Every structure is written in C-alpha cells, then in structure tokens.
Amino acid sequence: MCRKDNHERRPFLINSWQGSSAPTSALAQQMKMHAIESKKRRLPFHQLARSIKKNIVVVVFTCLFFVCLKIGYQIGTNLVGDDEDRSRSALRQPQLLRQQTHHHENREHSSRNQTQIVSRQPQRSELTQQMHHHGNGKPSPRNQTQVSRPVHPYEKIWPGLIVPDYMLKDPQYGIEFVPAGKKACFVHVGKTAGSTVGCSLGFNLHCTSKVQAPGVLPHYTTNMFHAQMYDCDDETTTFFIFVVRHPLDRWISAFNYDNPSRDWEGFRQQFGEKHFKFRSQLYAECPFNTINDVGGALSAESNVTNVCKRRAEASIDGTEHFGCHHYFNYQFHLEAIPQNATIMTLRTEHLIEDWNSVEYNLGGGKEVLGQGNNIIAHNNVNKASDGKLKYLSEQSQRKVCEKLCNEIQTYKKILQLSINLSEKQVQESVDEVMNSCPIEALATTCNDPIPNITDKLIYSRGTWLRNRST
C-alpha cells in the first residue's frame, strides 16, 4: 500500500509544479523560480562544444601569430647585423689604411722594449698584423695585463686597437685616486726631454732610469698624448701638461734622431719597410745627411732639385711625413687638444722651476724638487746630435728659422696659455729664442701661412675633429 500510495501521489506533485492554480507555499515558489533560471543559463551540449572549439582555435592562432612574429624579428635582426658588420668592415679598412700611413713609430717604440698596438680581434687581417708587428718582424704579443682594465680613450677613438704599454703607468702611482678637478694629461712633444719627464711621471717610456718623483704631479697625471697616440679623456681631464723646448733645438734633435743613414739595412730590418720608405725620401733620395744640408737646400743658390727643396721645407714645418718627430710638431699637439683646454708647461731649459710651479698649481708643495735635481734622470738621450751633426752655418740657420716661423709662433702661444708661467718666465723663453732666431721671436705673423693640418688631425687624432675643423 505504501508503494501504491506514493505512486498515486506523484502525478499530483507534478501537477502542483506545473499548474499555476495549484496551491504552493512560498518556499516552493522560490524553488520553481530558481529552476527556471538555472534552465535558462544551462547551454545545450552541442552549443557548449562549439564554444570550446572556437576558443581553442583562437588560442592556437594567437600562439602561431606570436611565434611567426618572433621568427621574423630574429631574421630581420640577423640581416641588419650582417649589414652592420659589412659596414663596419668597409669603414675599418680605410681607417686601418690611414693608421698604417700616419701612425707614429710604433716599431721604434717596440724595439725599445715597448709592446706594440695589437688588434682586439682574435682573427686579424693581414693589414692589421702588418701594422702591429714588432720591429723584428714577429707579431707583437697581446698585453695580458690589460684584460681587466677599463677601456682607454685611445681605444674608444680607434676601436679594435689597444693602447701600447709605453702609454700606461705603473700601478704604484695610484691614478685611481685623483681628486675631482685635478686630473692631468701629459702632452709629450717629441725631442723635448719628454721621455725624461714621462719616466718621472710613471709612464713606461724609454726609461733607463726610473725613479718615482715626489709630490702629487706623478699621481694626478693619469694619461698621455704623444704624436698620433692620443689617450687623454677630454671629458674628465682638467689640465694638459706640455713639455716644450726651443723650437730650433727641437728640430735639430728630431732630424738627427730620425736619421737612419748610420745603418740603413739595420734600420729596415728593425723598423720595417714602411718607415724605411718614409726616411728614404728625405735622407736617401735627397742629399741631406746633416741639418746644414737641409738649411743649405733652402737658399736660392742651392743646386738641389725642386723636389728635394720642397721636402726640406716640409720636414721643417711638419707638412709631410719623413720622420715622426718632425711631423708631429707643436702645431699638431696644440690643435689636437680641446680648444678650451687649460694648459700648464714644463720648459726643458727650466725643468726644475716649472715642475715645482705645476706641482704647486695642483695643490702640492712649492719646492718639491730641489735645485740639485737628484730625482729626475735624463732618459732617451739623443747620442746622434754631437759635433758636426749640430752645426748650422749662419745662412743655413737663417733659412731654417724662417721656415720654423709658424712653429715658433705656436711655441710662444703655448707659453702664453700656460697658467703656471708668469709673463716674466714667458719673456725669458722668448729671449732665448731670440739668440738664434731673432726675427721670428719678435714676429707675430710669418711669410708662410699657417699650415692647414686638418687631414693630419683626422687621420692621426680621430675623425671627431672633422666637425670641429669645418
């Protein structure tokens, strides 16, 4: 009976849900509305499957789109990289050719136990290897001590080259502790006793005797500029310290120092064919064995060829490259530094006095070097400037001084710009020039125009000068 009663009561329950006239409680009414809403929200199975499939397709296509985008980006990057590499390679070749033509006596420095400039690239071109060989023809070893050091300014100017050891300083000088506004760069003009000063400052030059000079000057002078080797940081350097000498004396020493006529074959084997050709144009192809020969060629009575006369003139004013110490002269070194540079100067003829004044201007003592000078040793002495090699007849000296006129004016300008020299000291050096070149010492202009050395600066100092010179 229970089963039957329950079965008979079931149609009544169905009717009570479906019929609107059936009496229902408030709870039953709420349950009915909930069921209707749930039925509305419930999707049929085929609609649910279609929605899921559509979402899957969207996700797949989105993933494929991003994968294709990434692949395209990588391909484009590789193509641009290849183009940039080819562009760099094309640009590097003329740069290397310029460096090969105009670089200072790298082989000469390396022959005096100096490490040559070497390429950063593991696989170097034949041209690069030729540029950076030792004088004995063997490739110069990479400086292993330079691996962890900061990049030098020279290496930023010439990417791919490493600054040679002779431009570096001994770590004992503590160059990393230079106070702000005290950093100095040493401007080493050739044949001005620059090696003597450089060794006392701590640079690895031709130092047969190297004793650390006292005071702050050796510590604050962190970098060096010598010929085409410009390693001054223009952004952080406050002072540029020149070493200068009587212009005529400097030219005489440079001519004799660069003269290979004492041993041509030995010079060729030691320094290579490139520097041999530079020298031979002046010293072999023309009859110039002494400075007096050069001075005599400038006179109207000379019987030398016009070509040799022009080379004699160019060797004096530095407009052609027959030897690095003629070519990289006062004009080059002054025009290569920033135009608003603050200059201090050490005069070779007054070295102790000027050293003390530079030291004092840097915040050191007034008399750090005594007049006895038992600290600064004379290094890289030019032994080929004795006797007849220094002789100039009166006529030859007049002609050489006349051709040196612009160099003398640049020399005077360096002295006048030096903040450590008084007017009396400047006049003292001008008076010394008057003893040998009186007309040029008093002059403010010369018969010859000042040489335009824009190309020399670009090829030797860096391409940034192109914008400054235009």
Q: What is the pLDDT along the chain (470 residues), one digit of tens a residue?
A: 443 443 343 443 334 444 444 445 677 777 777 666 665 555 555 566 666 766 777 777 777 777 777 676 565 555 444 444 444 444 344 444 344 444 444 434 433 333 333 333 333 333 333 333 333 333 333 444 444 678 999 999 999 999 999 999 877 776 678 999 999 999 999 999 999 999 999 998 878 776 778 899 999 999 999 999 999 999 999 999 999 999 999 999 999 988 888 788 888 887 788 888 889 999 999 999 999 999 999 999 999 999 999 999 999 999 999 988 999 999 999 999 999 999 999 999 999 999 999 999 999 998 898 776 656 655 555 555 556 788 999 999 999 999 999 999 999 999 999 999 999 999 999 999 999 999 999 999 999 999 999 999 998 887 555 445 43
> Which residues are CB-neighbours of 131 under 8 A, at least 6 positions away?
96, 99, 100, 103, 106, 117
- The per-residue pLDDT for 212 is 75
Cα-only R_g, the chain? 40
Is 347 in contact with 176 (CB distance < 8 Å)? no
pTM (two decimals) = 0.69
- State phi, psi for 368 to the nearest 5 degrees: -70, -30
Give me the sheet containing 221-226, strands edge to edge. Answer: 229-230, 221-226, 184-188, 239-244, 342-347
What is the percent of the chain with per-residue pLDDT over 70, rounded to a whole number?
67
pLDDT at 181: 94
User: What integer pLDDT is reported at residue 388 of this predicted model?
Assistant: 77
Dist CA 309 CA 302 (whole Å): 9
- Give the Cα separation of 201 and 207 in Å (integer): 11
CA atoms of 230 and 461, how far apart (whole Å)? 6
Q: Return d(Cα 120, Cα 110) in angstroms, integer.
A: 18
CA angle at 346 for the pair 466 and 380, rounded to the nearest 5°: 90
Looking at residue 3, its pLDDT comes to 38
Tell me which residue of 210, 115, 199 sits closest to 165, measured CA to CA: 115
At residue 412, the pLDDT reads 98
Instruction: Specify the pLDDT at position 311.
Output: 96
Distance CA 91, CA 83 (A): 12
Strand (E) or helix (H) holding 224: strand 221-226
Task: List 188's β-bridge partners, or say none.
Answer: 243
**Biggest alpha carbon distance in the chain?**
155
**Whether 358 contacts 419, CB under 8 Å:** no
* Element containing residue 256 per DSSP (H, E): helix 247-258
* HEC assignment per residue over 169-193: ECHHHCHHHCCCCCCEEEEECCCCC
Element (H, E) at 239: strand 239-244
> Among residues of the chain, what percentage have pLDDT more than 90?
47
- CB 184 within 8 Å of CB 237: yes
CB neighbours of residue 147 within 10 Å: 7
